[in-house]
Amino acid sequence: MKLLEDRIRADGQVLDGQVLKLDSFLNHQIDVELLTELGREFYRLFQADGVTKLLTIEASGIAVACAAGQFFRVPVVFAKKSRGKNLTGEAYSSLVESFTHGCVNNISVSKSFLCPEDRVLLMDDFLANGAALRGLISLVEQAGATLVGAGVCVEKAFQPGGDELRAQGVRIESLARIKAMSPKTGVFFC
Amino acid sequence: MKLLEDRIRADGQVLDGQVLKLDSFLNHQIDVELLTELGREFYRLFQADGVTKLLTIEASGIAVACAAGQFFRVPVVFAKKSRGKNLTGEAYSSLVESFTHGCVNNISVSKSFLCPEDRVLLMDDFLANGAALRGLISLVEQAGATLVGAGVCVEKAFQPGGDELRAQGVRIESLARIKAMSPKTGVFFC
């Protein structure tokens, strides 16, 4: 998606260690109008698939999923990384290793919000090793729901997550796919 | 705001220990269309105040702030609860005790995203003891920015946070103010 690629070129910062900082518009400061356009594009890609629920993971996935939710007009559910007093009763859960934070989170979703009749579209800001999407897929499977696919803003295509998940039959639509990047040369798209 | 009060009456659950669960539409599963209406109302309340930035805290504040951001057409910034690889450089930070999770978070915002020229509206889903808002106010003060006020979806008016902050001169607009609640009687609004 040219709009997003142009913005990454203009405002993204490549740091050492394969880190791409998009925090001026995607995941710390948020350009709501840009996200609305990304949400519209996810809707165009998946509108024929009978999606009944958008599932993401806190925190930065929430803005992306809510932007798409305006068009899909279905509930957004976000998996929580820790269980507060509000998450009572039964929950589906799975372990997710965070590339960004260097830790393992036990993510969970209340059983009230995923059911066997649901057709679930996963949403996230980044796809790298695929750990977050795999954790969310596990929640969908535990609920007996149908996985429609995953909509991702930025895929680091030089990391294995996207290809591995596609090889398992998961439909993944990434709005920007990065072939290579470095602090010196910047970002190259697929 | 009647729309929100009605929804709290219909779908809220009061648990022991002064916990109000609104997770079927506000902070776990999200009704995006409802949040859009809440965002529109926040805009109505603060549209004359020259807001240049909406500031919230992950995770459930993000959906509320993004909904309002559609109307204000200014960037949303969310304070992070932990510092990942992406939050490099200088940041403003403050300590916030979480009522829901029973822990203390060191919240932070990159100095790139709050500046002295900013007129900041704080946004959050809940206001109880005011810890989150106080933490956000500290970030605004550290940046030398102007605090416009705070837009809150649900205020537990029987807890002291709202009144204490108003006594300090902070303009707080809560769309639903709860006077009292219990698992037996449900919720009473101010």
Cβ of A86 within 8 Å of Cβ of B36? The answer is: no
Q: Which among A38, A60, A85 is the top mutation candidate for probing chain B, defined by the most B β-carbons within 10 Å of its own β-carbon?
A: A85
The minimal CB distance from B77 to the residues A17, A29, A88 is found for A29
Quick check: B68 and B39 in contact, CB under 8 A?
yes
Q: What is the mean pLDDT of each run of 10 residues along chain B (190 residues)?
A: 98 92 97 98 98 96 98 98 64 86 89 98 97 97 98 97 98 98 96
Which pLDDT score is estimated for B98? 79
Q: How many CA atoms lie within 13 A of A97 on its CB side?
A: 7
Q: Does B33 touch chain A (CB under 8 A)?
A: yes
When the pLDDT of each residue in chain A is averaged and rounded to a whole number, the result is 94
Which pLDDT score is estimated for A97? 86
Q: Which residues of A touch B107 (CB under 8 A)?
A: none
Cβ of B67 within 8 Å of Cβ of A63? The answer is: no
Q: Does B112 touch chain A (CB under 8 A)?
A: yes
The string of pLDDT tens digits covering residues A30-67 is: 999 999 999 999 999 999 999 999 999 999 999 999 99
Cβ of B100 within 8 Å of Cβ of A88? The answer is: no
Identify the bridge partners of residue B78 per DSSP, sorted by sequence position.
B56
Q: Does A169 touch chain B (CB under 8 A)?
A: no
Three-state SS string across chain B, please?
A: CHHHHHHHHHHCEEECCCEEECCCCCCCEECHHHHHHHHHHHHHHHHHHCCCEEEEECCHHHHHHHHHHHHHCCCEEEEECCCCCCCCCCEEEEEEEECCCCEEEEEEEEHHHCCCCCEEEEEEEEECCCHHHHHHHHHHHHHCCEEEEEEEEEEECCCCHHHHHHHCCCCEEEEEEEEEEECCCEEEEC
A18 — pLDDT class (breaks 50, 70, 90): confident
Which pLDDT score is estimated for A34? 98
Cβ of B86 within 8 Å of Cβ of A32? The answer is: no
Residues whose CB is less than 8 angstroms from the CB of residue A121 and which lie 6 or more positions away in sequence, other chains included = A42, A46, A49, A51, A53, A54, A55, A68, A72, A148, A149, A150, A151
Q: Does A30 touch chain B (CB under 8 A)?
A: yes
Q: Does B86 touch chain A (CB under 8 A)?
A: yes
Cβ of A66 within 8 Å of Cβ of B67? The answer is: yes
**Is residue A85 scored above 60 in pLDDT?**
no
**Is residue A175 scored above 60 in pLDDT?**
yes
Which pLDDT score is estimated for A102? 77
Cβ of B98 within 8 Å of Cβ of A84? The answer is: yes
Q: What is the largest CA-CA distance in chain B?
A: 50
Q: Which among A18, A54, A62 is the top mutation candidate for probing chain B, defined by the most B β-carbons within 10 Å of its own β-carbon?
A: A62
Which pLDDT score is estimated for B101? 74
Which pLDDT score is estimated for A17? 81
Q: Which residues of A touch B109 (CB under 8 A)?
A: 28
Which pLDDT score is estimated for B52? 98
State which residue of chain B sits closest to A81, comparing Cα positions.
B59
The pTM assigned to this predicted structure is: 0.95
- The pair of structure tokens assigned to B165 is 């902050």
Q: How far apart are CA B54 and CA B148, in angstroms?
A: 10
Q: How far apart are CA A6 and CA A1, in angstroms?
A: 9
Q: Does B31 touch chain A (CB under 8 A)?
A: yes
Which pLDDT score is estimated for B102? 77
Which pLDDT score is estimated for A86? 53
Complex-level ipTM beyond the 0.90 threshold = yes
CA distance A76 to chain B (A): 5
CA distance B83 to chain A (A): 7
CA distance B187 to chain A (A): 17
Q: Which residues of A touch B106 (CB under 8 A)?
A: none
Q: Does B140 touch chain A (CB under 8 A)?
A: no
Which pLDDT score is estimated for B103? 84
Three-state SS string across chain A, please?
A: CHHHHHHHHHHCEEECCCEEECCCCCCCEECHHHHHHHHHHHHHHHHHHCCCEEEEECCCHHHHHHHHHHHHCCCEEEEECCCCCCCCCCEEEEEEEECCCCEEEEEEEEHHHCCCCCEEEEEEEEECCCHHHHHHHHHHHHHCCEEEEEEEEEEECCCCHHHHHHHCCCCEEEEEEEEEEECCCEEEEC
Q: How far apart are CA A84 and CA A91, in angstroms?
A: 12
**CA dihedral of A62, A66, A72, A74, whole degrees rounded to 10:** 80
Q: Does A51 touch chain B (CB under 8 A)?
A: no
